[in-house]
Amino acid sequence: MTHKILSITFAFALLIGSPITMQASEGFEAIENEFQNVSISVSESVLHISGANGQVLQIYNVAGVCLMRVKIDSQDKRYELNYPKGCYIIKVGKTVRKISIR
């Protein structure tokens, strides 16, 4: 008898229960992929950067200490690096390169 009452109650709950409706959101977030044509080169102690107008140049030593931070104001820029011989990390915007001053 208890089994019949539970079965009827369960069936009744299924019939009366309101269905849950979900709607998928069709909105999407566009991630803008900025393709950078930044060119970084070094000759002797002169750093040459092209294609980075308006971006920030950061120079770090191998210990991670920021030695220089400057905003690049033209498409083609040269910087005289008066640092001791060694390896340095150059970051221009999202572009990162390792250079060696000899």
Domain assignments of the chain as residue spans, ordered by start: 38-102
H runs (alpha helix) in the chain: 2-16
On the question of pLDDT at 13 being above 70, the answer is no
Q: Dump strand ranges (E) for 1-102.
A: 39-43, 46-50, 56-61, 66-71, 76-80, 86-92, 95-101
Question: DSSP secondary-structure letter at 15?
Answer: H
Average pLDDT value over all residues in the chain: 83
Longest dimension (CA), the chain: 95
CATH architecture assignment, domain 38-102: Sandwich (2.60)
**68-102: pLDDT as tens digits:** 999 999 999 999 999 999 999 999 999 999 999 88
